[in-house]
Amino acid sequence: MADTRIVIVGGGFGGLFTALNLEGSGQITLITDEDHFLFSPMLYEYLSGEVEEWHIAPKYTELVDEKVGLVQRAVRIRCSGPCRWWNDKLSRRRGR
């Protein structure tokens, strides 16, 4: 399964934990336009001085294995060949 290519769009809870759970399952690329993950449930604790910034906004490079490719910018995705989406908000149409 090492030749399987997996592209995860978005580095929120779903994208980050999908990348973490799939480590070792193929060539994984995580696409996000941020350099850090924001754990917003603890934002109040940060603003009140109870925790440090790195507690609620660690860098993706500190969270995922170095085998996970990180693309930290906006991208346009084009499929050449079979392409499957598991998110109902994304679709693939012929000719695009």
**For position 50, which CATH number holds?**
3.50.50.60
pLDDT tens profile 14-40: 889 898 898 888 888 888 888 889 888
Residue 52 lies in a domain: yes
Note whether residue 93 is domain-resident: no
* pLDDT of amino acid 84: 63
User: What is the residue range of 23's domain?
Assistant: 5-71
* Residue 47 in domain: yes
Q: What is the pLDDT of residues 40-75, one digit of tens each?
A: 888 899 999 999 998 989 998 888 888 888 887 777
Residue 20 lies in a domain: yes
Long-range CB pairs of 31-40, under 8 A, 24+ apart, other chains included: 31/7, 31/71, 31/75, 32/60, 32/70, 32/71, 32/72, 33/72, 33/73, 33/74, 34/60, 34/72, 35/59, 35/60, 35/72, 36/60, 37/11, 37/12, 37/63
Residue 82 maps to a domain = no
In a domain, 16, yes or no: yes
How many domains would you assign to the chain?
A: 1
88 in a structural domain: no
Q: Does residue 41 belong to any structural domain of this protein?
A: yes
